[in-house]
Amino acid sequence: MNLEHLLSDEDKAIRNTVREFVNKEIMPVRTLIEEDLTLVRAIHQKLVDLGIQEGGYPKEYGGTGPYSYLTLCVITEELARGDAGISQSVGINAGLILGPAMVVGNTDVLDRWASNFTGDDASFACLSMTDATGGADTENPLLHGRGITTTAYLDGDEYVINGTKSWPTHAGIANVYLTVCNTDPNLGDEGIALIYTPRKSEGLRFGNPEPKMGFKTAINASIFYDNVRVPAKYRLAGPGIDAQVYHGAMTGTQWHSAALSLGVAQAALDIALEYTGTRKSGGKPVREWSMAAGILADMAIRIEMTRAAVYNLSIMMDNPEAYGPPFTPKMVSRASSTKIFAADTAAWVTNKAVELMGANGISPEYHIEKYLRDAKIMQIWLGGQQISRYRVARGYYKYEINGDADGQE
């Protein structure tokens, strides 16, 4: 990896620790964990025991961090090499959900929930974002919040939330839900509200876990808000700032998806290299044939370019004084470009690995079909590759609909 010199000694030590953990604790059971969530829970607890979860939180709340984006990228990539769903969960729990409260200094939120993630037990958080009606409208930057159909209105010192969310990760098992709401669709970005919602809130209900072809180790389910009352102090910050953080969250989620894609692609290449090195055709290993060697080379090229892009993005996000804060159209564009490229790389590489392995490529025994399923999901979430391209375009010019230039900088 050409950015190796930019990793600190601590980053390298963490990478080695996580890599060894994945090889020992995940690789031997990566097929079994898709059908047995008790094994998944056990793995999460072992990662907590390693200190991975508490590393996302500041020392004043019992943590040992927070992580830099580059450090969390290293962790995400290595864990996704074993299982993308587990890696996704770890990133969410290790600060990505409570991170906005750290940034704006909402001590009410941190005092309530941070200790859940710096203790001895595995704990879960949830970004409750995509609305059941409209789907990707929630994430569409051209709508400036008007596509968010979950509503919130202030009643005294409480917000009252109504709506339905689809597909949030950790729905039903999380202790805290960062709920994306709209206080007034006519206000555009000013109407966006981010409200941390306790799990045990009256009127908050959850659907059954969704059956999925991939990311089976991460639970997704619907969330129903029926006049859910939440203390106003659990709103992230207020009008304007909430919108900035929400747009910044698009940068963060796209970055996270890119890092996950990188780990999946690397796992696929590792499997293909091992298989084609031992499987023989025409009296010699498959990878000794020029056609196979060319495919493997193309797989490696795309992964190396993806790694450079993902690590470069991580460093930019760690240096906002040079590249701008995450909510700016330019940074959202950079993150979206990286996510699109990384997700396409993961899908292309896993597909080529299956082709190299023939019928064995679709057999669970050889594991590659698992990574193929996970890779496809990363192309379709967060609004998909199409909505992500809107974000890319807005980093270069004022691309809007109906002449609406709200939020452009």
What CA–CA distance (Å, rounded) separates 399 from 118? 42
**Alpha-carbon gap, residue 127 to 278, rounded angstroms:** 44
Q: What is the mean pLDDT of residues 345-370?
A: 97
pLDDT of residue 351: 98
Res 407: pLDDT:
43
pLDDT over 90 (residue 405): no
- Tally of domains in the chain: 3
What percentage of the chain carries pLDDT values higher than 70? 98
* Residues 327/242, Cβ–Cβ less than 8 Å: no
How confident is the model at residue 135, as a pLDDT?
Answer: 75
Q: Could you write out the DSSP letters of every residue in 189-211?
A: GGGEEEEEEESS-TTEEE-PPPP
The reply to whether 229 and 250 lie within a common domain is no
Q: What pLDDT was estimated at residue 19?
A: 98
Distances (CA, A) of 240 to 237, 282, 359: 9, 65, 54
Tell me if 201 is assigned to some domain: yes
One domain for residues 249 and 389: yes
pLDDT (tens digit, 9 = 90+) per residue, 26-79? 999 999 999 999 999 999 999 999 999 999 999 999 999 999 999 999 999 999
Name residue 344's amino acid.
D
Q: How confident is the model at residue 4 (pLDDT cuts 50, 70, 90)?
A: confident
pTM beyond 0.85: yes
pLDDT given at position 339: 98
Residues 57 and 80 in one domain: yes
Asked whether residue 155 is assigned to any structural domain, the reply reads yes
Lowest-pLDDT range, 2-11, 116-125, 286-295, 332-341?
A: 2-11
Q: How far is CA 190 from the centre of its chain?
A: 25
Whose structure tokens read 């450079």? 308
Q: What is the DSSP string of 116-130?
A: HHHSSS---EEEE--
Q: Label residue 2 by pLDDT band (50, 70, 90).
A: low
Give the number of other CB atoms < 10 A from CB of residue 49.
12
Residue pair 172/179 in contact by the 8 Å Cβ criterion: no
Clarify whether residues 388 and 245 are in a common domain. yes
Query: What are the distances in angstroms from CA 223 to CA 68, 140, 149, 207, 288?
Result: 31, 20, 13, 6, 52
Task: Estimate to the nearest angstrom the gap between the alpha carbon of 322 and the chain centroid.
Answer: 24
- pLDDT for the residue numbered 333: 97
**Amino acid 402: pLDDT:** 62
User: 300: which residues sit within 8 A by CB, 6+ positions away?
Assistant: 269
Identify whether 343 is part of a domain: yes
* CATH for 15: 1.10.540.10
Compute the average pLDDT of residues 344-358.
Answer: 98
Residue 320: Cβ-neighbour burial (10 angstroms; 0-12, 13-18, 19+): middle
Q: Which CATH number is 199's domain given?
A: 2.40.110.10
383 plus 260 within the same structural domain: yes
Q: Residue 400: pLDDT band by 50, 70, 90 thresholds?
A: confident
Predicted pLDDT of residue 340: 98
- Domain enclosing residue 139, as ranges: 125-234
pLDDT digits (tens, 9 = 90+) for 259-286: 999 999 999 999 999 999 999 999 999 9
Q: What pLDDT digit, counting tens, does each position of 128-153 carry?
A: 999 998 778 998 988 999 999 999 99
Q: What is the pLDDT of residue 406?
A: 47
Among candidates 206, 203, 207, 205, which has minimal Cα distance to 227? 203
Tell me, yes or no, whether 213 and 288 share the same domain: no
- Span 186-196, average pLDDT: 96
CATH of the domain at 317: 1.20.140.10
**Position 402 in a domain:** no
Note whether 331 and 390 are same-domain residues. Answer: yes
Alpha helices by DSSP H, 149-278: 241-278
Do 196 and 258 lie in one domain? The reply is no
- Cα(41)–Cα(38) distance, integer angstroms: 5
Q: What is the pLDDT of residues 163-180, one digit of tens each?
A: 999 999 999 999 999 999
Q: What mean pLDDT, rounded, does the chain reach?
A: 95
DSSP letter at 316?
H
- Among positive and negative, which fits the CA dihedral 300, 85, 212, 169? negative
